[in-house]
Amino acid sequence: MASQQQLSVIKGTKVLMVGAGGIGCELLKTLALSGFQDIHIIDMDTIEVSNLNRQFLFRQSHVGQSKAKVARDAVLKFRPHISITAYHANVKDPDFNADFFKQFNVVLNGLDNLDARRHVNRLCLAADVPLVESGTTGFLGQVTVHVKGRTECYECQPKPAPKTYPVCTITSTPSKFVHCIVWAKELLFAKLFGDKNQENDLNVRSSDAESSSEHKDDVFERKKDEDIEQYGRRIYDHVFGYNINLALSNNETWKNRNRPRPIYSGDVFTNELTRQNGNMDKNFATDDGTSVSAMAYLGMKNPQDIWSLVENSRIFLEALKLFFTKRGKEIGNLSFDKDDQLAVEFVTAAANIRATSFGIPLHSLFEAKGIAGNIVHAVATTNAIIAGLIVIEAIKVLKNDTSSYRMTYCLEHPSKKMLLMPVEPFEPNKSCYVCSETPLLLEINTLHSKLRDFVEKIVTAKLGMSFPLIMHGSALLYEVGDDLDEYMVANYAANLDKVLSELPSPVTGGTMLTVEDLQQELSCNINIKHREEFDEEKEPEGMLLLGWTQPFLAAEKDDNKSNGNDASTSNASTTATVEAEMDDEIDVIHAGKKRKLSEESKDAALGISRVADGTKNHKVLEVLADEDDLVMLGDEETGTKKKRLL
Amino acid sequence: MDGEQLTAQETALYDRQIRVWGADAQRRLSKAHILVYGMKGTVAEFCKNIVLAGVGSLTLVDDRMVTEEVLSSNFLIPPDENLYSGMTLAELCCNSLKDFNPMVRVSVEKGDLSSFGVDFFDNFDVIVVSSCSLAAKKLINKKCRTASKRVAFYTVDCRDSCGEIFVDLQDYRYSKKKLEETINCHLQYPSFEEAISVPWKTLPRKVSKLYFATRVIEKFEEVEGRNPGEASTADLPGVLKLKKELCDAHSLNESHVPDNLLERLVTNTSEFPPVCAIIGGILGQEVIKAISGKGDPLKNFFFFDALDGKGIIEDISSDSNTGK
Ligand SMILES: [Zn+2]
């Protein structure tokens, strides 16, 4: 197969790789060995210790350096005579426009987030360059081929929405550990150490009994001269004691649930235990910000241990104290970061104490970090396999061997005896707004919704546009860009706050809007349909985008069924059906026969049952705001979690 | 396990993979001793994978010198004659691999593996051989089986855009969780010699054609006294003749061993790097499974052909084929 003809095709090729991470390292190596001589690689990231177990081109001494550049240098060591061009940059930079993409024969993605994948997809379509896309999670992976007009584009099938939980599950009726983590990270941590002006549902409290609380609002403020130990105990008693008591007073909530147990610091530390807390004077921990650790102060070493209630309480108080004493300057600006040891300690402890209240099993710091940081499982072997498959597919694309294109799934458990399962690629989705010209349909209340809602919830969140331009006929309603004059900026800002029907060029039922992103060279039309009412629970956005989105929830149901028997397959980030029917023929599964959207919604494995629990005022809380969490082709930094982590 | 804990350094380095297979499995890995024989591209890939995974030690055996062919697919060897001259393949690879993970002991053993005594094999948990003659495979496998403890045995080879893995875990027990239950599993593997002696006509109709083709080539090399991988287009008539003989002897329809597949395998005997990555990756996963006791190990052959893109498991043992 590595024939002369094939080699000459490879040699004359200019290839662009996006991503120099887990898949990227393997891919760059395999491309170089396979004879590719002109490789360009883009990655904005720098090397971290936790990359070293699989990103084999990197060493301890490279930590902090550009992945793209170190990868290039490492590969040049065994292939000195080829050309590798490294860009330490974001692929979304305007420099990497369609003209830039046009110089390549094929683009290979080894990315870790949905946002960048969509961006590259659009540019490949605009530049008419074939794209080979990939992703891995643990032992699972997949490779897909996207050739304009021949196969579906990366966005032909809608990607899963971010995981969300009803607010009241988080604030008052957690039933899983992840709910406690979300509470600790998004609410408590944000309230104590984050931006004070940000809306925070901790204020909402856990019940309707809100009116009875006297020391609202200021309870989280540290009083002048308040002793830090005292402040910590006060916060502790408020969130784990008082608030739970408050919640308990609403009998309705607990009719069919186990009643939580309020926990007060006085009950936990029966003696004078807190006094022993911390070895501040010993000062054996370094004082440079992020290396401060409550575990180190308390002499606890093993992140795999599950702490007792007393230990969790100590960590909680110690971590809180350390934030105020050692990292006081950052308070007010902190947001949770999985690489911030003290933050992870605080969140683990808080989540565990809350879990104790609600009778939910406790978890180790290691596990809690994985859940809170949305960390994806990654191993070298899967990345190596996927990289090999990418190169095989890339060579087919270069040879224009259309009939042999395959999307391939790498499975953990064999299906039809296969661990590597090729499937014929799907045809383009005729209603895809990205690769076809079919207009979308938006149901929206044009008398209530503002242009801002439309921009935020549809243009940015759903269509993934970064520099949008919105037109009604020839009238420009809105635009984002660097070179706008002040007058326009003011004009657009004013438009944002206007209700659709009151815009200078009114948007009403029957209007067609054109939305463009010049950088992505994407333009699509949206037909507006006025609708009065929206179901708060099912349509929390107050608008509904149709025409492209597929019946996602139905697929998920399907999935859960097939899952039941095997928790680990359930994490497959695959989109095709992979169940094993042992028939006689081992044939390539044919396109369209059995498409199941499914597995991506496997993120649902994280326990994100979208099951609404019946009560009113469900707002939807966005969880794991990390951009990583949405993705279907979950690769290493992306999405999917194993159930057993929970 | 036995209460020993991973160090903070290990936990930080292996964070992402501990999230895949757990801390227990990681501890088992760090105590495993692995030996590989035949340092071509596929084995280089495998070595990279298990060194990154954090096994206890890796021993390399291959006294051959660098050739053009090895250079083309083995990224562990610097392509500079000044750097590689005078050193064996094992020594060169050892130098590179040491760098990948300071926590793994990588070393070289000189000599002919098939001549080593059984007590030598006792030092290892896993033996992987590549580019080995049929006789050597059988012999080394036999020694693994007579060692005082279970020594897992694997063969791996790639030619053209095809690859084969053979696995012998002997008598292998492991448990897995299914929902809340723990299920105990027991697999019995045949030796390489036993597996390839299973009469072809008793095998399921759909067995990978690569299985037969590889046996034909393997046999051809043995009869002709060739080194593994030493064949060319000129040998095709001889190979096709042998195929016919073997098919007749096994009463197997010749269509199960397509001529064009054999032609590919003799015409291009060198490794194709993407396939090395794929086969080396699957083998890495299998060895990790066998050491850690986590996951269903494959029994007992794996085949990949880039032409159709399928990566298939075949169970070829006398007891498993009768019922099908
Ligand atoms: Zn599309």
Please indicate whether residue A25 is annotated as part of the active site.
Answer: no
Q: How far does the centroid of ligand 1 lie from the alpha carbon of residue A428, in Å?
A: 6
A434 in contact with chain B, both atoms CB, cutoff 8 A: no
Take residue A146 and report the two structure tokens written for it: 């996207």
B158 with B80, same domain: the answer is yes
B134 with B236, same domain: the answer is no
Percentage with pLDDT > 90 across chain A: 47
B70 with B208, same domain: the answer is no
- What CATH architecture is A4-161+377-423? 3-Layer(aba) Sandwich (3.40)
d(CA A110, CA A31): 13
**Closest chain A residue by Cα to residue B286:** A381
Residue A486's SS3 state is: helix
A28 in contact with chain B, both atoms CB, cutoff 8 A: no
> What is the predicted pLDDT for the residue at A198?
72
| Nearest of A106, A138, A95 to residue A18 by alpha carbon | A106
Is the CB of B282 less than 8 angstroms away from the CB of A419? yes
The DSSP bridge partners found for residue B154 are B128, B167
> What is the predicted pLDDT for the residue at B166?
98
For chain A, the maximum distance between any two Cα atoms, rounded to a whole number of angstroms, is 82
Residue B282's SS3 state is: helix
Residue B319 lies inside a defined structural domain of this protein: no
pLDDT tens digits for A451-491?
A: 999 999 899 888 888 889 999 988 999 998 888 888 889 99
**Angle of the A22-34 helix axis to the B273-292 helix axis, nearest 10:** 140
Burial (0-12, 13-18, 19+ Cβ within 10 Å), B12: middle
- Which CATH code, of 1.10.10.520, 1.25.40.80, 1.20.120.430, 1.10.3720.10, is assigned to A175-359? 1.10.10.520
A394 in contact with chain B, both atoms CB, cutoff 8 A: no
Contact B128, B109 (CB under 8 A): no
Residue B321 lies inside a defined structural domain of this protein: no
Segments forming the whole domain that contains residue B224: 197-267
pLDDT tens digits for A208-258?
A: 334 444 444 567 888 888 899 999 999 999 999 988 988 888 888 888 888
Of A54, A80, A408, the CB nearest to B16: A54
- Residue A65 makes CB contacts below 8 A (sequence gap 6+) with A46, A47
Residue B248 lies inside a defined structural domain of this protein: yes
Take residue A160 and report the two structure tokens written for it: 């899963």
Q: Which residues of B fall within a CB distance of 8 Å from A388? A: 273-278, 281
Residue B92 lies inside a defined structural domain of this protein: yes
Q: Go through B295-322 and write b for each residue having 16 or more CB atoms within 10 A of its CB, e for each that does not.
A: bebbbbbbbbbbeebbbbbbbbbeebbe
Edge-to-edge strand list for the sheet holding A475-479: A475-479, A468-472, A512-517, A522-530, A440-444, A543-546
Interface test with A, best of B1, B13, B15 (most A CBs within 10 A): B15
B54 with B17, same domain: the answer is yes
Residue B175 lies inside a defined structural domain of this protein: yes
Question: Which residue's entry shows tokens 């890995």?
Answer: B29
B151 with B236, same domain: the answer is no
d(CA A426, CA A404): 13
Does B300 sit behind a cis peptide bond, omega within 30 degrees of 0 on the bond before it?
yes
B160 with B244, same domain: the answer is no
pLDDT tens digits for A260-286?
A: 999 999 888 876 544 444 444 444 444
**Closest chain A residue by Cα to residue B80:** A78
How many contacts does A have with B, using Cβ atoms within 8 A? 197
Type of residue numbered A24: G
Catalytic residue among A168, A180, A410, A524: A168
For residue A162, name the pLDDT band (cuts at 50, 70, 90). low
Instruction: Answer yes or no: is pLDDT of B147 > 70.
Output: yes
Please check whether the domain covering A440-547 is classified as CATH 3.10.290.20: yes
Hey, what's the torsion of the CAs at B110, B114, B120, B125, to 10 degrees? Answer: 100
Stretch 552-571 of chain A: residues touching chain B, C-beta under 8 Å: 564-567
Instruction: Answer yes or no: is pLDDT of A632 > 50.
Output: no
Q: How far does the centroid of ligand 1 lie from the alpha carbon of residue A298, in Å?
A: 54
Min Cα–Cα distance to chain A from B41, Å: 10
DSSP B107-170: EE--S-GGGS-HHHHTT-SEEEEES--HHHHHHHHHHHHHSSS--EEEEEEEEBTEEEEEEE-S
Q: What CATH number does the domain containing B158 carry?
A: 3.40.50.720
Task: Pick the more confident residue, A38 or B22.
Answer: A38
B204 with B58, same domain: the answer is no
Q: How far does the centroid of ligand 1 lie from the alpha carbon of residue B253, in Å?
A: 46
Residue B320 lies inside a defined structural domain of this protein: no
pLDDT tens digits for B148-183?
A: 999 999 999 999 999 999 999 999 999 888 777 889
The DSSP bridge partners found for residue A164 are A622
Of A36-45, A273-282, A398-407, A548-557, the poorest mean pLDDT is in A548-557
A105 is in an annotated binding site: no
A115 is in an annotated binding site: yes
pLDDT tens digits for B220-244?
A: 999 999 988 888 899 999 999 999 9
Mean pLDDT (whole number) for B193-213: 94
For chain A, the C-alpha Rg in angstroms (whole number) is 26
B33 with B19, same domain: the answer is yes
B237 with B293, same domain: the answer is no
pLDDT tens digits for B255-301?
A: 999 999 999 999 988 899 999 999 999 999 999 999 999 889 999 99
pLDDT tens digits for A281-331?
A: 444 444 444 568 889 888 888 888 999 999 999 999 999 999 999 998 898
Q: What pTM, to 2 d.p., does this model score?
A: 0.80
**Structural domain boundaries in chain A:** 4-161+377-423, 175-359, 440-547
Phi/psi for A376 (5° steps) reads -100, 145
B116 with B222, same domain: the answer is no
d(CA A562, CA A542): 33
User: For chain B, what is the domain count?
Assistant: 2
d(CA B221, CA B226): 5
d(CA B321, CA B324): 6
Of A302-316, A487-501, B101-115, B307-321, the poorest mean pLDDT is in B307-321
For residue A534, name the pLDDT band (cuts at 50, 70, 90). confident
Of A291-295, A566-570, B36-40, B126-130, the poorest mean pLDDT is in A566-570
Q: Report strand pairing: B310-314 vs B171-178.
A: unpaired
Contact A445, A531 (CB under 8 A): yes
Stretch 443-502 of chain A: residues touching chain B, C-beta under 8 Å: none
pLDDT tens digits for A130-152?
A: 999 999 988 899 999 999 999 99
B173 with B28, same domain: the answer is yes
Is the CB of A389 less than 8 angstroms away from the CB of B73? no
| Nearest of A124, A64, A56 to residue A91 by alpha carbon | A124
Residue B241 lies inside a defined structural domain of this protein: yes
Min Cα–Cα distance to chain A from B284, Å: 6
Query: Chain-wide mean pLDDT for chain A?
Result: 79
A517 in contact with chain B, both atoms CB, cutoff 8 A: no
Of B78, B205, B310, the CB nearest to A420: B310
A53 is in an annotated binding site: yes
Is the CB of A379 less than 8 angstroms away from the CB of B295? no
Type of residue numbered B196: I
Contact B141, B192 (CB under 8 A): yes
> What is the predicted pLDDT for the residue at B208?
95
Of B52, B282, B288, the CB nearest to A56: B52
A285 in contact with chain B, both atoms CB, cutoff 8 A: no
Residue A147's SS3 state is: coil
d(CA B138, CA A427): 49
> What is the predicted pLDDT for the residue at A163?
66
A432 is in an annotated binding site: yes
B178 with B149, same domain: the answer is yes
